[in-house]
Chain A
Amino acid sequence: MTFVQGGPVSRKAAAAVAAVGIMLAGAACSSSSSSSGGSPGSGSSTINGAGSTFAAPMYQQWAGQYKAKHGVQINYQAIGSGGGISEFTQGVVKFGATDAPMSGTEQAAAQAGQGSVVLHIPMIIGAIAVIYNEPSLKSLKLDGPTLASIYLGKVKKWNDPAIKALNPGVSLPTDPIQPVERADSSGTSYAYTSYLSAISPSWASQVGASKAPSWPTGTGATGSSGVAAAVQQTKGGIGYVEYGYATQGHIPFATLKNASGQFVAPSTASTNAASAAATYPTTLTKLTFSLVNSSASGAYPLVTPTYILIAQKQDTSTGNELKAWMEWCLASPQQSEVTTLGYAPLPPKLISLNLAALKTVR
């Protein structure tokens, strides 16, 4: 910043003040519009995508490996599922990534923006961990109705009778519970609130399932890492993040009671149990489904697929390269690799549905 130096009395000062004023007015205006990260020009061997932070670690790893093998550069920006849908709709990126299936209006807007039918291709399945910060609690058991009551602001203390009943013999602290949620639009929020809606009628009627619900209580944080940080910084905090964020940050997480009455921790095995028992759609243009609150034995109840959005009609060769990358990701060596990052592979019947859907992309 430069300012007018010296000079006679207050006119110069006034000029300096006015100059700064104009700069600030500009800054205030420009800062209110969200700027989307610029991506390098898409040559024939560069594909840009954006969206889900839930799936980001896997997509970035696959992109790196694919570049080394096939020379195609895939740039993936983890800006959140809502951002992925929005940038894909505007045509800023070649593919969008989201954990929440697009709503009817979102689908219509995306198809208008892309000038083509838009497909949902499920790529990975993962679990959402309920993390907490209560150092005296070595382990914690929760169920859906209690979780809903916590996020509705009805269960306010860690020694609430509802939590006591689930954790017999554990001495619970008297601290208040501090729920943390995503303040930005998030597919993880969608899966979490879908679960709460499925299990708690009062949650379904008061809040519902949404990427950006109107939370009745709690503190908002941005991004999965923001939620993890907020929980770690707040004694009595509770939050929800993709399983990998919990294990990598060594944050304690709760075991949840599933629909068949077992307490299950998030893991690849308990995620597999949920996905193996599910029924999948057969409409290739909308391969969307829900895995929350599975009644299968050993299934973790908070499980979600994550999708890539791709236009069915492609008019450049980039489309074929994107299709080739996705088919590569769905092949068995890549799918068995997902467990290293805490996700679960897709069941074989879903992979064949995906490949059939990708065949229609041209």
Chain B
Amino acid sequence: MTVVSAGRLVSRRPADALFRFATAACASIVLILLAGMLIRTTWAAWPAFSHSGISFVTSNNWNPNLNQFGGLSFIYGTLLTSILALVLAVPISVLIALFLTEIAPARLGTALGYVVDLLAAVPSVVYGLWGVFVLVPFLTNYVWQPLSSHLSFIPFFSPFASGRNFATAGVILALMIIPIISAVSREVFRTVPADERESALALGATRWEMIRLAVLPRSRQGVLAAVILGFGRAVGETIAVAYLIGGVPNKITADLFEQGSSIAANIALQFNEAASLPLFKAALIGLGVVLFAITLLINIGARLIIRRGGRGA
């Protein structure tokens, strides 16, 4: 939070002091909430952490019936599907944002912008159901099976088993983060000063050259931050992934057509079973802490990049 420097001049007035106190108090609620959540969940997860030790995140053996809690496969599934989502979503999102800000006529750009924002508001369970009944059969019949039968020599595309797999989960995540990455990128592109675009055009640049010379270099940091935010969203996504990833623990493989599970999906799928088993419950909360840590790292990364970018610009 940056304190506006003018505030210091007028801070003697009681109304201003009150206002300042109110804003500061509200801002600190966020911090207290965050710290409280982290402490409470870590505390609740402690039995599992002390039971499994470091193997909680390094072992690939999750078997609650035998009190074995090694969550590496969930971390792997989370990162694999999220990275896959980025690979698919980033180029599309950046092109959408460029079209909206640079190519489309202003009115069309605004209208399409609303539609993109609307996509971001579709609840994840709707994506999940749509995924089960529309996306899975479509991808299975028209994409995954042809890929698998023609490109099975590539290790990523093994002989095909089921439409619920890492690849499908990656696609649904891509669809869910495209609105976020493109909306943020759009705002970033808009901040490029008009005179820079105009100077590029005045020097005889084509529209593509103007984008390449004036818009993209200025926006690199902002777009990168947008990408990391999309990544953060993908990492925490739960229900749609739970429906589509195949829900199988302990799978670590580069084969995108295999079934697996992610941290958030596994919590959702197993929470009901854990209600009366304290260690199992602690282990699931522990997975939540791991997810929290991953999300936190991603957000800190985004902040660092933005700060560095702010100085460079």
Chain A interface (Cβ < 8 Å from any Cβ of B): 1, 3-14, 16-18, 20-22, 24-25, 27-29, 31-34, 79-80, 82-83, 85-86, 89-90, 103, 105-106, 108-110, 176, 178, 180, 183-185, 208, 210-215, 218-222, 226, 229-230, 233-234, 237
Contact = CB atoms under 8 A, between A and B. Distances in A.
Contacts, number: 205
A10 to B, nearest CB: 5
A18 B271 contact: no
Contact of B273 (A21, A108, A212): A212
B184 A185 contact: no
Nearest to B162: A219
Contacts of A208: 65
Nearest to B145: A235
Given A11-B310, A85-B276, A219-B165, 13 more contacts: A14-B222, A14-B310, A17-B184, A17-B188, A24-B236, A25-B299, A32-B263, A183-B269, A184-B272, A213-B65, A214-B249, A229-B132, A234-B140
B193 to A, nearest CB: 7
B171 interface: no
Chain B: interface residue count, which band?
35 or more
Interface stretch (B3-11, B48-56, B239-247): B239-247
B94 interface: no
Contacts of B272: 34, 79-80, 82-83, 85-86, 184-185
Contacts of A28: 232-233, 235-236, 291, 295
Nearest to B136: A233
5 contacts: A1-B120, A25-B299, A32-B264, A34-B271, A221-B243
Contacts of B292: 29, 32
Contacts of A176: 159, 161
Interface of B: 30, 37, 63-65, 117, 120-121, 124, 132-133, 136-137, 140, 159, 161-165, 180, 183-184, 187-188, 190-191, 193, 218-219, 221-222, 225-226, 229, 232-233, 235-239, 242-243, 246-250, 259, 261, 263-264, 267-273, 275-277, 288, 291-292, 295-296, 299, 302-303, 306-307, 309-310, 313
B208 to A, nearest CB: 22
B291 A105 contact: no
Nearest to A84: B272
Contacts of A220: 164, 246-248, 259, 261, 269
A185 B242 CA distance: 13
